[in-house]
Amino acid sequence: MRRAGILAHPTALPGPGPLGDLGEGAVAFLDWMVEVGVGLWQVLPLHPTGGGLSPYDSPSAFAGGTHLISPHRLVEAGLLEARELVIPFHDGSRVSEAIVRDWQRPLVAEAARRLAEADPDALQRFAEAQPWVQDWALYQALLQAHGVTAWQDLPAPLARRDGRAMAAARKKHQAQVQTEIALQLLFWQQWGQLRSAAHSRGIRILGDVPIFVSGGSCDVWAGRERFKGIEENGRWHPDPIAGVPPDYFSPDGQLWGNPHYDWPAQAREGYAWWVARIRNLFSLVDEVRIDHFRGFVAAWEVARGAPDAKGGHWAAGPGKALFDQLRQELGPLPIFVEDLGEIGPEVHALRKDLGLPGMKILQFGFNGNPHHPFLPHNYDDRRWVVYTGTHDNDTSLGWYRSTDDLTRHRFRVYVARSGEEPHWDLLRMAWSSVADTAVTQLQDLLGLGSEARFNTPGVATGNWAWRALHLPDVHASARLAELTATFGRARPAPR
C-alpha cells in the first residue's frame, strides 16, 4: 500500500512549553496529519537521552524518555497544580538541555512522587508488567545518590552488583526507586494516550531501534556478560568500542564509543535480551526502522583508546540467526532496515534473505551516475522506503544550497525544475516514485535551511535541539495534501 510519512521527533513539535512533548502540541500535529492525508509518523528512539540530548546514546534500551512527559497533561491528571507551571523564558526554536534538567525534570519528578504516594498499587502492577523497570529505577536512584553519570563510577560493590550491596541499596533508596518507577508509568500512560489518538485518526507510528547501547547504560550494568569488555583496576570498560569507518560524513570515521555485543554469549541465551528489547519496542510503536543494519553482518570494532576510527576492523555479527529467533518468538514483524554507509554484497544478501525493505536517500543520488541506486528510475522493488533526507542529513534546502554547482545542475536536469524550491522538488520525486513508503522531514515542509538540521554525524555538539515554531501554513499544507492524493499516498479515512 502506498503511503506518505513525516519524520518529526516529539521534542521538535511546536507546543505551549519550552520543548515538544506528548501533550496538546503532539495531538495538534496528529490533527494536521489528518488534514494533509499523511498516515505515517516517524519518531526517533523514545528512550532517555544521552549527551547533548541524543536519543541514540541512551542509558536504557527499555525505559521511556521522561523528558517527553507533558507537564500540562500532569496538571490535567491532578498531579500538578497550574500555579506550578511557571514556564521559564526560552528560545522556542531550540530545546535547551538546561531547561530540561532544571525545569521539566523537577516538575515531572514531583508529579511522580505524588503518584507513588497516592497509588502504590498502580506502580506494583506496572513493575510486574515491565520487569526491566526495577533495575532501571535502582540504577537511576544510585547515580543520583552518588552524583555520577555512569555505573562504572559507583562504589565497586554496586558497580559489580554484589548481592548484599544491592539489597541494602534497594532498601536505602526505596523512595527514589518508587519515584523512578512512577516516572516510567507516567511516560507509558501519556505515550499510550497519544498512540491511541494516532490510531483513532488512522495514523501509524514508526519507531527506531539503534543497534548499540551506551557503555554506561543500565543494560550493560544489569547484564555486562552480554558485551565485550575488560576489567582495569577493578573497573569494567568496553573494549573494543563501536564506530564506523571513513565515509561521506567523516573522513576519519566515527568513534561512537559504544560497547560491542558478545554475540556468542547472546546466542547461548537464545538472544533473550534482543527478544525482550524488540517486544518492548512494539508495545510503543507500530513499525520499526532498524538502525545500522550492516552491523548485524559485521560491525566496525576500534580498540579502546584509539584516537579515531580509521584503524578499526570489521567483526562478524549474528546474521540471520538473530532475526530467525525474533520471528520465532514474536512472529512476523513490520520492520525495515537502514542499509546505508559502507555496504557490501553480504549486507544486501542478508536483507534480501530476510525479505526486509531497505532505504533510499534522494540527496545522495546526484553524483553523475545514471545507475545510482538512490535515483527513483532505478528502484527495483516497490517495498523500498524513500526519504528526501533523514535526521542525519541536512534539510533539503540546506543540502541544495551547500552542495557544489555540478550537483545542483544534475539535480535541476533530473527534476526539470529551476531549483528555486528544491525541498518541494525532492518531495515530489519521493512521492511520485514506485516506493510504497515515502518520508520527508518536517523541516522540508517548512522550507527551512541548514539552521534547522537535526543532527550532523560525527559532530558532538549542537544536535538534536531544533524545534518547529509552528506547523506548515495553509499553502504548504494544501500543496502537500494535493501531492499526497495525486500520487496515491493519501491516508485511508479512519473507521
Which range is least confidently modeled, 74-88, 149-163, 236-250, 461-475? 236-250
Name the amino acid, one letter, at 22: L
C-alpha cell recorded at residue 379: 528502484
Per-residue pLDDT, 280: 98
Per-residue pLDDT, 51: 84
Give the pLDDT band (50/70/90) at residue 284.
Answer: very high
Q: Among residues 180, 287, 291, 339, which one is catalytic?
A: 291
pLDDT at 342 over 80: no
Strand 437-441 with 385-387, pairing: parallel
H or E stretch covering 171: helix 163-172
Q: Among residues 57, 239, 287, 392, which one is catalytic?
A: 392
HSE of 474, CA atoms in CB hemisphere, 13 A: 0
Q: Determine contact, residues 287/206, Cβ cutoff 8 Å.
A: yes
pLDDT at 369 over 90: yes
Query: What is the Cα–Cα distance from 442 to 129, expressed in whole angstroms?
Result: 35
Place of cell 497544580: 81
Per-residue pLDDT, 91: 85
Per-residue pLDDT, 250: 79
Rounded to an integer, the average pLDDT of 164-189 is 98
130-164 pLDDT, tens per residue? Answer: 999 999 999 999 999 999 999 999 999 999 999 99
Give the pLDDT band (50/70/90) at residue 493.
Answer: low
The closest alpha carbon to 433, from 483, 371, 472, belongs to 483
399-453 pLDDT, tens per residue? Answer: 999 999 999 999 999 999 999 999 999 999 999 999 999 999 999 999 999 999 9
Cis peptide before 494 (omega within 30 of 0): no
Q: Determine contact, residues 59/23, Cβ cutoff 8 Å.
A: no
Per-residue pLDDT, 247: 75
> Angle 45-8-405 (CA atoms, 0-180°, nearest 5)?
115
pLDDT at 391 over 70: yes
Rounded to an integer, the average pLDDT of 98-121 is 97
Arithmetic mean of pLDDT over the chain: 95
Name the amino acid, one letter, at 149: T
- In this structure, the dihedral spanned by the alpha carbons of residues 408, 413, 417 and 420, taken in order and rounded to 10 degrees, is 10
| Active-site annotation holds for 291 | yes
Give the pLDDT band (50/70/90) at residue 460.
Answer: confident
Q: Among residues 219, 287, 338, 339, which one is catalytic?
A: 338
Per-residue pLDDT, 374: 97
Per-residue pLDDT, 434: 98
Contacting residues for 8 by C-beta, under 8 A, at least 6 apart: 29, 41, 42, 43, 441, 442, 468
The closest alpha carbon to 62, from 140, 10, 148, belongs to 140
Per-residue pLDDT, 234: 74
Percent of the chain exceeding pLDDT 90 equals: 89
Contacting residues for 459 by C-beta, under 8 A, at least 6 apart: none
Which range is least confidently modeled, 23-27, 219-223, 241-245, 350-354? 241-245
Per-residue pLDDT, 495: 60
> Angle 247-253-259 (CA atoms, 0-180°, nearest 5)?
125
223-239 pLDDT, tens per residue? Answer: 999 999 998 877 898 99
Which range is least confidently modeled, 108-112, 248-252, 258-262, 307-311? 248-252
The closest alpha carbon to 108, from 13, 209, 22, 169, belongs to 22
H or E stretch covering 314: strand 313-316
Per-residue pLDDT, 191: 98
Give the pLDDT band (50/70/90) at residue 397.
Answer: very high
- What single string gives the DSSP state of each residue in 421-469? -HHHHHHHHHHHSS-SEEEEEHHHHTT--GGG----TT--SS-S-B--S
pTM: predicted TM-score of the whole model, two decimal places = 0.96
H or E stretch covering 348: helix 345-354
pLDDT at 54 over 90: yes
- In this structure, the dihedral spanned by the alpha carbons of residues 263, 265, 270 and 276, taken in order and rounded to 10 degrees, is -80
Rounded to an integer, the average pLDDT of 456-472 is 92
The distance from CA 205 to its chain's CA centroid, rounded to whole angstroms, is 12
Give the pLDDT band (50/70/90) at residue 344.
Answer: confident
Query: What is the Cα–Cα distance from 493 to 471, expressed in whole angstroms?
Result: 22
DSSP state of 244: E
Rounded to an integer, the average pLDDT of 73-81 is 97
